[in-house]
Structure 1
Amino acid sequence: MSPTPADPEAWEAYLAEGNAKQARKRVAADALLRDPAGRVLLVNPTYKPGWDLPGGMVELNEPPEVAVRRELREELGRDIDVLGLLVVDWVPPHGPWDDQIAFIFDGGTLDGDEDLQPHDEELSEARFFPLEKARELVGERLRRRMDAAMRALQRNCPLYLRDGVVGW
């Protein structure tokens, strides 16, 4: 027989045991930042090949929208307001990685001539690119997610993806 809330200590232990058995997800939170010309900000990580959107991994018990602001502060030295959610993408297991939930938030528009130098060793550069060039520089999975984020901006409605695909 399972404990009940009538025995708070046993109930808490029961819930903790259930929690320990639940799946854990890796969570990423990125930002789509543009300049007045509509170019997209990409960052060049030092720890993996290819360009990426600014952002990163969510820490334990951290809300994704807080994580993206923290990552932008760490990576670019900037406090950027998150204007809304654009994309939630469930990414299936791949390579050595378990599945993941990836968020893209709207970071709004920044002046193109702002000094966007990387502020930590994880990045070698940060630059605005025309959308088509940005699409060429990122990997296929991020390209699909970025395309969906641009559609979400146009529609003013967030999109749910399953491995980068809308309407699964």
Structure 2
Amino acid sequence: MNADAPLYERDPEAWQAYLAEGNAKQPRKRVSADVLLRDREGHFLLVDPQYKPDWDMPGGMAEANEPPHEAVRRELREELGLDIHAAGLLVVDWVSPHGPWDDLLAFIFDGGELTDEQIATIKLSDGELSAFEFCTPEQAQERLRPYVWRRVAVALDALKTGHVQYLLDGYAR
């Protein structure tokens, strides 16, 4: 073997160890994934988590090595008994560190319009949620934390325009 060859050619095991060491030192990002689900009147679904004071979008935190769109699907199954494939990405919001939390990447996906039959099957499944309701934008603005509402308002706009938006703390970049 050529001594001048790159490490990945000379010693593949050493190269993998080098990559693993770098991976262990890299910062990790928290990832949340929510979904915009609508009824036929255009109202969208909000949920009332028992573990925080405000209403929120359906969805939640991604688990280790879980793609955000799959996190949405899992959370909807676990919390509401729905099996929905998120259609497309509407928003990615980088949320700066706050309180005890490090930074976060927050995704909002388009879950489409639910049929009356799908809505009838929604059930609070795992004890994390105390209620759900389809709301107008005005109702949502009253119930959501201001930074969550900013993100949702941009998602509603992205739904109309077809342009995915990248935000910093809920504000367009």
Q: Deviations over 1:102-156 (max 9, x none)?
A: 0000011113552422111100111111111011100011001000100100111
Question: Equivalences for 1:78-117 in 2 at 5 Å?
Answer: 78-111=82-115, 114-117=120-123
With normalisation by structure 2, the TM-score equals: 0.92
Report what 1:43 is aligned to.
Answer: 47
- Which position in structure 1 is the counterpart of 2:155? 149
Structure 1 residue runs of 5 or longer lacking an equivalent are: none
Query: Which residue does the alignment assign to 1:120?
Result: 126
| Identical residues among aligned pairs (%) | 58
Runs of 4+ in 1 over 4 A off after TM superposition: none
Is the 8 Å Cα contact of residues 3 and 14 (structure 1) preserved in structure 2? no
Q: Determine which of 7, 31, 40 is the counterpart of 1:27.
A: 31
Map 1:44-83 to 2 at 5 A. 44-83=48-87
Counterpart in 2 of 1:13?
17
Higher mean Cα deviation, 2-11 or 55-64? 2-11
Taking the aligned partners of 2:12 and 2:153, their CA distance within structure 1 comes to 49
Give the AA of the match of 1:9. E
Q: Are 1:134 and 2:140 an aligned pair? A: yes
**Greater helix content:** 2
**Which residue in 1 is equivalent to 2:168?**
162
In structure 1, give the amino acid aligned to 2:135. F
Where structure 2 has 5 or more consecutive residues not aligned to the other structure, the ranges are 1-5
RMSD: 1.3
Shift of 1:3: 4.0
